[in-house]
């Protein structure tokens, strides 16, 4: 589905009125338009070509991209949560460009999300595209809905993980991955 900018603009205007602001004052007058444009940009991260290479011979070592900076929005408060994602897979005759792993993270991050689902969706997409021997995704994030309100504990992080195939079944593989992402 594409973005209905008109609807967003109306809603943001109403929202501003709802919190007692004057949506026509100088600083806010363009805000509904800006937010609609912002979401158009977020939505655009869903579209990219997933190039897969199938001529990798017998390469079956772990491919790891760690410390992928990501930004997402919690679906309960529409406030950002952000941090680092670590993504790994063990190829089975198919690999993709490393930048595509970053693109997959962004594809699922720029929408109302919960961190658990985001982690699982990245893993599932890699499974679907590459049919690898295993996938591992670990995400560590700060949630502004926790930091800004309620318990106000900005030093706490939420960690989620999704492991499949060899990462789930083989302790040695799993430990190799965990050592790689925990080393500086
Ligand atoms: Zn939240």
What integer pLDDT is reported at residue 151 of this predicted model?
A: 64
- Class of domain 5-44 (CATH, top level): mainly alpha
With cut-offs at 50, 70 and 90, classify the pLDDT of residue 60: confident
**Can you give the pTM of this predicted structure?**
0.93
Catalytic, 96? Answer: no
Catalytic, 21? Answer: no
Percentage of the chain exceeding pLDDT 70: 97
Q: For the residues 49-74, what does the mean pLDDT come to?
A: 89
With cut-offs at 50, 70 and 90, classify the pLDDT of residue 55: confident
Given 74, 86, 113, 121, the catalytic residue? 74
Q: Where are the domains of the chain?
A: 5-44, 52-182
Residue that has been written with the tokens 């001529």 in this structure: 55
Q: State both tokens at 61.
A: 């070592």
With cut-offs at 50, 70 and 90, classify the pLDDT of residue 40: very high
Catalytic, 77? Answer: yes
What integer pLDDT is reported at residue 149 of this predicted model?
A: 79
**What gap in Å lies between CA 160 and CA 72, rounded to an integer?**
14
Question: What number does CATH give the domain 52-182?
Answer: 3.30.1130.10
Given 86, 96, 113, 115, the catalytic residue? 115
Q: H-type helices in the chain, by residue range?
A: 5-18, 31-44, 98-109, 115-130, 144-147, 165-169, 171-182
| SS3 category, 2 | coil
The region of weakest confidence among 57-61, 90-94, 135-139, 144-148 is 57-61
Catalytic, 145? Answer: yes
């Amino acid at each position: 589905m594409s973005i209905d900018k008109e609807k967003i603009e109306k809603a943001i205007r109403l929202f501003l009125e709802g919190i007692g602001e004057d949506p026509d004052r100088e600083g806010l007058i363009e805000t509904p338009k800006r937010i609609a444009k912002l979401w158009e940009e977020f939505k655009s991260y869903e579209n990219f070509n997933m190039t897969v290479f199938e001529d990798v011979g017998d390469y079956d070592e772990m491919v790891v991209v760690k410390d992928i900076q990501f930004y997402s929005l919690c679906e309960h408060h529409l406030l950002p949560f952000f941090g680092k994602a670590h993504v790994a897979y063990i190829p089975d005759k198919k690999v993709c460009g490393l930048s595509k792993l970053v693109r997959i993270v962004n594809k699922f991050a720029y929408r109302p999300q919960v961190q658990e689902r985001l982690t699982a969706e990245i893993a599932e997409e890699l499974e679907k595209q590459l049919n690898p021997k295993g996938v591992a995704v670990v995400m560590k994030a700060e949630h502004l809905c926790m930091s800004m309100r309620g318990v106000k504990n900005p030093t706490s992080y939420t960690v989620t993980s999704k492991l499949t195939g060899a990462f789930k079944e083989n302790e040695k593989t799993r430990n190799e991955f965990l050592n790689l992402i925990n080393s500086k």
